[in-house]
Amino acid sequence: MRLLFISDLHLHAGDPEAIRRFIDLMDGEARDCREVYILGDLFEAWIGDDDDDPSLAPIVAALARLARTGVPCSIMHGNRDFLLGPRFCKASGCRLLGDYERIAPFGEPVLLTHGDLLCTDDTRYMAMRAEFRSAQWQRGFLAKPLAARREIANSVRQMSTTEIAAKDEYVMDVNQAAVERTMRDFDVTLLLHGHTHRPAVHRFSLDGRPAARIVLGAWHGPPQIVRWDETGYRLETLD
């Protein structure tokens, strides 16, 4: 049985087609998998586990149906949904991972991460990330009414869009030195991540050993996913 890896779906009410594709995947192919991994940014925004946006309920329900079939689903925080918490996990049946997760599907070690921690050249983003992930900021944000949180989330997204348009391409991509340092730290020659929205398989040498970095694609266009079975991994377009 294969494993399924997806990332950067950015699901929201304004893109019902992406929501439909996700639900079809969870109710279809995912049920034949050994395990499903979502490597961050399942949602375009997640303002807290008490979010009452009705457009999000079918997404959580699809995950819960998958869990009831016995297929484990693990999820990471992305830069858009880092407030996913215990209530979400209980409702969806998902297991929440840390920023890095080392697994060995079919005996081959691979390091999973969302990918934003590797974009060290984007110092502005890294500073904002540190602030938003702090316990103090999150306590203050979650104490606000839902309407206020939605306004803040919209403002942050608009600011992010403006800043991205002004940044050089290399700044928003991963830093190769950070990639290699992280892979050494976790003793792997294979890394799988999302975040950059640049699906590809990058091959390079790490301390004299063949290494690879697999990048999942976003779902703004044809969804790019990774299927992994006994024959190895494949970066493919979701039919």
pLDDT at position 216, please? 97
How confident is the model over 180-201, as a mean pLDDT? 97
The span from the CA of 158 to the CA of 130, in Å, is 19
73 has a pLDDT exceeding 80:
yes
- Asked whether 87 and 56 are in contact (CB, 8 A), the reply is no
Tokens of residue 134, six digits: 């702090």
Question: Per-residue pLDDT tens for 13-37?
Answer: 999 999 999 999 999 999 999 999 9
Q: pLDDT-derived band of residue 170, with 50, 70 and 90 as boundaries?
A: low
CATH number of 3-237: 3.60.21.10
Where does the pLDDT of residue 172 fall: very low under 50, low under 70, confident under 90, or very high at 90 and above?
A: confident
User: Residue 169: what pLDDT?
Assistant: 65
**What is residue 98's predicted lDDT score, i.e. its pLDDT?**
97
Residue whose token pair is 């699901």 = 11
Nearest C-alpha neighbor of 155 from the set 167, 144, 169, 170 = 144
Average pLDDT over residues 40-59: 96
**Residue 109, pLDDT above cutoff 70:** yes
Looking at the DSSP bridge assignments, the partners of residue 37 are 5, 74
For residue 218, count other CB atoms closer than 10 A to its CB: 19
DSSP string, 170-238: HHHSPPHHHHHHHHHHTT-SEEEE-SS---EEEEEEETTEEEEEEEPPPSSSSPEEEEEETTEEEEEE-
pLDDT band at 100 (very low <50, low <70, confident <90, very high): very high
Instruction: Report pLDDT for 221.
Output: 81
**Of 186, 33, 195, 217, nearest in space to 109 by CA:** 186
Q: How confident is the model at residue 220 (pLDDT cuts 50, 70, 90)?
A: confident
Q: Is the full-model pTM beyond 0.85?
A: yes
Q: What is the pLDDT of the chain when averaged over all its residues?
A: 94
Check pLDDT > 80 for residue 171: no
Phi and psi, residue 66, nearest 5°:
-60, -45
Write down the pLDDT at residue 166: 55
Ordered by start, the domain boundaries in the chain are: 3-237
Q: Give the tens place of pLDDT for each residue, 127-155.
A: 999 999 999 999 999 999 999 999 999 99
239 vs 231: CA distance, rounded Å: 20
